[in-house]
Amino acid sequence: MIDMPDNLKGLEVFVAVVESGSFTAAAKHLHLTVSAVSKAVGRLEIRLNKKLFERTNRCLEITEAGTAYYETCVRVMTELAEAEAMLQAQGAEPVGALRLHVPVAFGRMRVMPIILRLASTHSALRPQVAFNDKMLDLVEEKADVAVRLLSVNQAREGFSSLYLGTENLVLCAAPTFAKRHGRPTDRFDLSRFDCVTYGRSDGTVAPWQFDIGRDGTERRDISSSLVLGSAEAQVEAVKAGLGISQLASWLIEKELQSGELVDLAPDMSASGLKLHLVWPKQRETSAKVSMTLDALSKYLKVS
């Protein structure tokens, strides 16, 4: 057992009192007597020469000095816990539940092959993969790692993120459609074509994007002949010759290679969403999270 320095003794007790709101609740949480908790806080106040709580018969209120000290204690205890976890994780086998949040199509097509390889190599790892295109609260969902396609990085405080690349958006169609109807000469020429677009869950239709100039982007509403709420369904509709669509190159890579789809206008390709890994900072030292981040950052590509 580590001999904790005098200036760190009582931190756990003090933090427990602040977070539980009373000596009695803190004692129950720490499996101590109320007297032991009260004495530990008293010794801390004597050592600091500061009053940490205002005590009355009816309530316990933290003082201004107590609030400042509490914030420091939480930071110190968090750093100690993270350091200990990092040391324990070195060389450790990843075990337990790994909660991942991934976009639906990208998750199925690009993320799952990597996760399945990890699961087959590490039998004690239990991936729990949630597929959703909505930006769910990762704290509420208790996610270990999230793969996100975003227009801008939206990582919140307490989370780390890693940028992995930007989508390349391609105007594509079936070869038979291109032969029958020709190819668009520019973005203004799209109005004469049947277009297969993406319908969002809120009922709106996602605009198409076009790179304008050196750094500019234009989002353009497109007249739709078919609106689908699934990117994979869009691919099938375009392959069936029902129109042209603007799709991410990762989504139609095989179809372009096989010739089932053709790039109608390479000079009209545009930058799409940005691929990020997002994870809670406090979990990045665990073996299962660090191993997953290493694998995803090495093999996951969007362009």
Average pLDDT on 190-199 reads 95
**72 CB burial (10 A radius; 0-12, 13-18, 19+):** exposed
- What kind of architecture, by CATH, is found in domain 95-303? 3-Layer(aba) Sandwich (3.40)
Is pLDDT above 90 for 155?
A: no
Tokens 């949630």 — which residue? 130
Run of H or E including 11: helix 11-20
Q: What integer pLDDT is reported at residue 150 of this predicted model?
A: 85
With 0-12 / 13-18 / 19 or more C-beta atoms within 10 angstroms meaning exposed / middle / buried, residue 54 is: exposed
Given pLDDT bands bounded at 50, 70 and 90, which one contains residue 300? very high
User: Which pLDDT score, from 0 to 100, does residue 10 have?
Assistant: 83
- The secondary structure of residue 137, as a DSSP letter, is -
The CA–CA distances, whole Å, from 48 to 4, 10, 40, 52 equal 17, 12, 12, 9
Higher pLDDT, 258 or 60: 258
Higher pLDDT, 201 or 9: 201
Residues of the chain with CATH 3.40.190.290: 95-303
pLDDT at 6: 53
Q: Which amino acid is at 161?
A: S
Q: Convert the pLDDT of each residue in 77-112 to its tens digit.
A: 877 776 676 666 555 678 888 999 999 999 999 999
> How much is the pLDDT for 127?
94
Topology of domain 6-89, CATH: Arc Repressor Mutant, subunit A (1.10.10)
pLDDT tens string 252-296: 999 999 999 999 999 999 999 999 999 988 887 788 999 999 999
| Percent of the chain at pLDDT exceeding 90 | 67
| Short-list 251, 298, 247, 284, CA closest to 268 | 247
